[in-house]
Amino acid sequence: MPANRISRGAPALGPKLLQRRSALPRLIEAPSVVSAAGNKPKRIEEFVGRVNSGHENVSVARMVSPGGWEEPFQTPEFEEITVVLRGVVRVESESGILEVRAGQGVVTSPGERVRYSTPGAEGAEYIAVCLPGFSPQTVHRD
């Protein structure tokens, strides 16, 4: 069969995978705005997670924080993947300080004591993905 043709026959997949493939995509019409910790107001828009979509295994949120924002240290039970879209996000840990700039990302591990901040005057915009999903009970802030 040519590479650009789609087979209309039933694929040789297990019932579980077939069931997942038959589900319709679910539109996330808008994020839920959730409260943020820190010394200044920061906007957290959760698209996927416990609050907006009921997902416990992952959360995906857009963060917009002002210049000079910082939060307390935390030792979360989840892995956090951060992709910076605009500005600089500072990530402090016991191993040092990382300055994560627009176009860069950083991954922090569960059980790692970290603190996020946006030191630049322009603040920052970034996407945070947590595995499993973020919850106030598993972030363990100082």
Give the residue ranges of the chain where pLDDT is below 50: 1-11
Give the chain's domains with CATH numbers.
37-139 (2.60.120.10)
Q: What's the pLDDT at 15?
A: 53
Calculate the CA 60 to chain-centre distance. 4
DSSP letters for 14-51:
-HHHHHHHHSPP----SPEEE---SSS--EEEEEESTT
Task: List the structure tokens of 68.
Answer: 């000079």
Contact 50, 32 (CB under 8 A): no
Residue position matching structure tokens 């059980």 = 111
Residue position matching structure tokens 């603040």 = 123
